[in-house]
C-alpha cells in the first residue's frame, strides 16, 4: 500500500502497517498524541541494549563467543518486542487523530513512526544472516559484527524517535484544527495532477476527503445551532448584566453625592479645627507670658525671703549681744529717757 502526503512527496508504507479504511469518527475537537512516554521507553530500552552488548563483549565476557552472541540476541529480541508494542500504541493514537480529521499530520508523521519497527526488523534479518554465516567469521572478531548491528539499530532508532518526539511535541503544543477540509479545498487538484501516485489511490483519498467533508458539514451545522443557542443566552445574560450595571451606576452616583456632602462637612470641621488651633496658640502665648510673670514673682519672693531671713539673723545677734536687764530697773531705753 502507498500513501501520499499532500505537501511533501510520496511515502512508501509497508503492507498492512496502517489501515486507512478505518471508519471516521465524528467530532472536531483537538485530539492529542499521548505517545511521549512510550517512545521514551523505547529509546531507553535500545540504549540499554546497546550498552549491555558492549559491556558483555568487553567487560563481562562469557565462556565462549557463542554464549556472548546469545546474550546479545536475547537483548535485541527483547528490544524488538518493546519496539513492536510501542509501534502498535503509536499506530492506535495516530489512527484516532486521522479519523478526527488531522490528516496532514498523520501523513507527515507516517515514516517517523514506522521507521523504528522496520529498522528493528531489518536488524533482525541482518543478525540472522550473521548467525547463519558465523562459522566463517574470525575468532578474534567473532562478536564485533553482532555488536555493530545492535549499535547501528540503537543509534538509528534513537535519532528517528528523537525527531518523532519533536514533531509530536510541536503538534500537541500547537493544538491545530482538523485539516481534512483544507486538504480537500487546496490539495486535491495537486493530488490528481501528481502522476507519481499509483492508480487506485485517488479513490481512497477522494473517499476519505468526501467522508471528511460530510462529517465537517454535519459538525458545522451542529456548531451553528449551538452558536445560535449560545447567542440567545448571551443576549439575555447581557441584558441582565446591563440592568445590573445601571443599578450599580445609580448606587455609585448616590454614594458619590453622599461623599461630596461628607466632604463639605469635613471642610467646615477643618475650618473650625483651624480656628481652635489659632485660639489655642493665643492662649498658649498668654499662658507662657503668665509663666514668665510668675517666674519673676518667685524670684522677687525668694529675694524678699532672703532679706527677711538676713534681718532676722541680725536682730537675733543684736539681742544676744545686748547686756542682761537687772531686776527692778527699767529697760535701757526707759532709763536712758529718764536720765535724759
Residues 217-267 pLDDT 10s: 888 888 888 898 889 889 888 888 898 898 888 889 888 888 888 888 888
* pLDDT at 93 exceeding the cut of 60: yes
Structure confidence at residue 61 as a pLDDT band (50, 70, 90): low
Provide the β-strand partners of residue 12. Answer: 2
* pLDDT at 194 exceeding the cut of 70: no
Q: Distance between CA atoms of 15 and 263, rounded to whole angstroms?
A: 87
Residue 328 has a pLDDT of: 56
Residue 84 has a pLDDT of: 93
pLDDT above 90: percentage of residues in the chain: 8
Please enumerate, as own/partner, the contacts of 221-227 that have beta carbons within 8 Å and a separation of 24 or more: 223/28
Q: Distance between CA atoms of 145 and 157, rounded to whole angstroms?
A: 18
Structure confidence at residue 49 as a pLDDT band (50, 70, 90): confident
Vertex 180: Cα angle to 40 and 160 (nearest 5): 25
Q: Distance between CA atoms of 295 and 104, rounded to whole angstroms?
A: 105
Structure confidence at residue 212 as a pLDDT band (50, 70, 90): low
Structure confidence at residue 340 as a pLDDT band (50, 70, 90): very low
Q: What is the average pLDDT score of the chain?
A: 75
Torsion, Cα 43 46 52 53, to 10 degrees, reads: -150
Q: Do 18 and 95 contact (CB within 8 A), yes or no?
A: yes
Range with top average pLDDT, 28-37, 78-87, 315-324: 78-87
Provide the β-strand partners of residue 11. Answer: 3
Higher pLDDT: 214 or 61? It is 214
The contacts of residue 158 (CB under 8 Å, 6+ apart) are 43, 46, 47
Residues 290-337 pLDDT 10s: 888 888 888 888 888 888 888 888 888 888 887 665 555 555 444 444
pTM score? 0.47
Amino acid at each position: 500500500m502507498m500513501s501520499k502526503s499532500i505537501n511533501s512527496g510520496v511515502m512508501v508504507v509497508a503492507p498492512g502497517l496502517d489501515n486507512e479504511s478505518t471508519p471516521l469518527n465524528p467530532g472536531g475537537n483537538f485530539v492529542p498524541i499521548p505517545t511521549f512516554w512510550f517512545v521514551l521507553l523505547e529509546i531507553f530500552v535500545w540504549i540499554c541494549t546497546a550498552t549491555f552488548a558492549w559491556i558483555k563483549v568487553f567487560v563481562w565476557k562469557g565462556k565462549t563467543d557463542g554464549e556472548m552472541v546469545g546474550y546479545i540476541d536475547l537483548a535485541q529480541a527483547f528490544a524488538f518486542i518493546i519496539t513492536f508494542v510501542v509501534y502498535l500504541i503509536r499506530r492506535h493514537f495516530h489512527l484516532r487523530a486521522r479519523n478526527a480529521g488531522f490528516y496532514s499530520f498523520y501523513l507527515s508523521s507516517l515514516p517517523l513512526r514506522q521507521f523504528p519497527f522496520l529498522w528493528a526488523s531489518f536488524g533482525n534479518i541482518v543478525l540472522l544472516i550473521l548467525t547463519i554465516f558465523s562459522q566463517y567469521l574470525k575468532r578474534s572478531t567473532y562478536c564485533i559484527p553482532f555488536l555493530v548491528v545492535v549499535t547501528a539499530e540503537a543509534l538509528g532508532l534513537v535519532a528517528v524517535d528523537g525527531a518523532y518526539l519533536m514533531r509530536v511535541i510541536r503538534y500537541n503544543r500547537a493544538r491545530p484544527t482538523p485539516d481534512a477540509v483544507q486538504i480537500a479545498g487546496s490539495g486535491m487538484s495537486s493530488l490528481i495532477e501528481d502522476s507519481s501516485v499509483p492508480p487506485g489511490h485517488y479513490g481512497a483519498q477522494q473517499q476519505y476527503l468526501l467522508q471528511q467533508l460530510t462529517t465537517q458539514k454535519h459538525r458545522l451545522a451542529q456548531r451553528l445551532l449551538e452558536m445560535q443557542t449560545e447567542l440567545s443566552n448571551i443576549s439575555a445574560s447581557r441584558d441582565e448584566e446591563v440592568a445590573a450595571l445601571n443599578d450599580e451606576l445609580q448606587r455609585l452616583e448616590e454614594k458619590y453625592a453622599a461623599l461630596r456632602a461628607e466632604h463639605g462637612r469635613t471642610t467646615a470641621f477643618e475650618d473650625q479645627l483651624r480656628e481652635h488651633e489659632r485660639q489655642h496658640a493665643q492662649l498658649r502665648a498668654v499662658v507662657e507670658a503668665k509663666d514668665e510673670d510668675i517666674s519673676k514673682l518667685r524670684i522677687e519672693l525668694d529675694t524678699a525671703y532672703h532679706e527677711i531671713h538676713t534681718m532676722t539673723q541680725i536682730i537675733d545677734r543684736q539681742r544676744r549681744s545686748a547686756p542682761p536687764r537687772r531686776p527692778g530697773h527699767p529697760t535701757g531705753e526707759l532709763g536712758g529717757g529718764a536720765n535724759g
